[in-house]
Chain A
């Protein structure tokens, strides 16, 4: 019997969100089919890959990544170097040094770094806060202000601080708002509802619905992303049609598979390979589950995932 292909058509699509300005600006989202299902409907833009650096600079990097930044001394140097690696679509700056329970850097100190990085590169920028809800409520509005005109993605508002961050990034300074929930599909939707009720344009919101490193309760990540895309496309739920960005690196580089030294775990092999493997497997799974963009740290991971996306496009 001949094979009759029946495309799965949806009368709905994910919002297309532009990040950055000028020639290097990127678009994410826009799809009206499940991830990589280009046989069902044309996919207008491919998924994007970002490289992540932190305010901690070279010192905060695992040794195997630091080697790639040889010769860089300032944050500007690091940013330029990061932007030069193959497959990099955007630059993500993680301000984890702002955490009051960690380095507790001041907002002023961090904003100086943000400005230095922004001046060094013309790639689209994603700026991530320190995850502490009070500190981020103070820090991220300043980030949005400092980068006015660059159309950056500010990550992230959460349920606890969405008013301060959503209003500053989405209303006052016309940036893109990252809405973060932790693998909770109902909260992901709710955050989009209350953010748009603030007056923020839903077409300028990107979701981070959470992730885990593969092997660490990862099944919930898949089902969450899958159900979000299912409702966004199948039920035309416009409160779930925001594209998804997933910060992979901050999850994968902390787990023991990526960090235990070869001396401690000789049977696991070289630590660098393991770190890349964790990052690549998690990112590939996130993309297959519905992420429209992923954030990675190792240049080799960025290159690998970027080639995967091109090959499947």
Chain B
């Protein structure tokens, strides 16, 4: 089995300092955040430029070049609602360290992002959701099947669709948590890859609680077969948990210094 793929979430326009750096094309804060995440063990970096309706194409190109030139062609997840910006990012993307990830498609208005990924030999995060939150796993798996068939129909390898069950916040949707874990098991039983914004579970909780909840959930998810997650790699407890679970799953060979690798 391959090692768990941590996608660093900290380059996001939702963070005011990052958004400012995006707008001003100021490399310093972006490189700092990227470097911190990679040092902490992130495999991919998510580049969330927001809706980016005006200059999305230019901004995404700038980000891709900046990050790949400074960090040995680090693989990236291109995260925006602006399709043209994703295409522009891919046009300058170096895939020597991994295919680009299109973040993301869903089963309704964003389903064409699967076509975009297929046309560009990219990975796509396929969010198993159409309108509103799925009422049950029958619905989740229906979306999963539809998106899988669409991708395969366009010649994609099934392993390039990473299915996202949509992690839900515990404060408000505690009763849905086991359902999500079961969905991950279903993806895994079908041999599919999976990912998602795992830290959404702990939204609204006190700061010191979040790493604990996130770590517990990632361990349960990995047991169910989750192959990746979009996380904060600078959460030490979380990364230690992921590395430890990789050992238990046989994804990496144990050595006393495994946490330093």
Contact = CB atoms under 8 A, between A and B. Distances in A.
Nearest to B1: A235
B257 A231 contact: no
B253 A235 contact: yes
Given A193-B260, A193-B261, A237 B252 contact: yes
A196 B260 CA distance: 12
Contact of B257 (A193, A227, A235, A237): A193
A207 B74 CA distance: 30
B251 interface: yes
A310 interface: no
Interface in B208-261: 251-257, 260-261
Given A193-B260, A193-B261, A239 B3 contact: no
A186 B250 CA distance: 13
B256 A239 contact: no
A237 B2 CA distance: 11
Interface residues of B, number: 11
Interface string A202-243: 000000000000000000000000010001000101011000
B243 to A, nearest CB: 13
A189 B260 CA distance: 13
A237 B261 CA distance: 10
A235 B251 contact: yes
B3 A189 contact: no
B261 A239 contact: yes
B254 A186 contact: yes
B251 A190 contact: no
A310 B261 CA distance: 38
A121 interface: no
Interface in A274-308: none
A235 B260 CA distance: 17
Contacts of A239: 255, 261
A235 B252 contact: yes
Contact of A235 (B2, B254, B255, B256): B2
A231 B2 CA distance: 10
A72 interface: no
A194 interface: yes
A120 interface: no
Given A235-B251, A239-B261, A186 B2 contact: no
A187 B255 CA distance: 7
Contacts of A194: 257
Contacts of A41: none
Interface of B: 2-3, 251-257, 260-261
**Which are the 9 A-B pairs with shortest beta-carbon distances?**
A189-B255, A190-B255, A193-B257, A231-B253, A190-B256, A186-B254, A186-B255, A189-B253, A193-B255
30 contacts: A185-B253, A186-B253, A186-B254, A186-B255, A186-B256, A187-B255, A189-B253, A189-B254, A189-B255, A190-B255, A190-B256, A190-B257, A193-B255, A193-B257, A193-B260, A193-B261, A194-B257, A197-B257, A197-B260, A227-B253, A231-B252, A231-B253, A235-B3, A235-B251, A235-B252, A235-B253, A237-B252, A237-B253, A239-B255, A239-B261
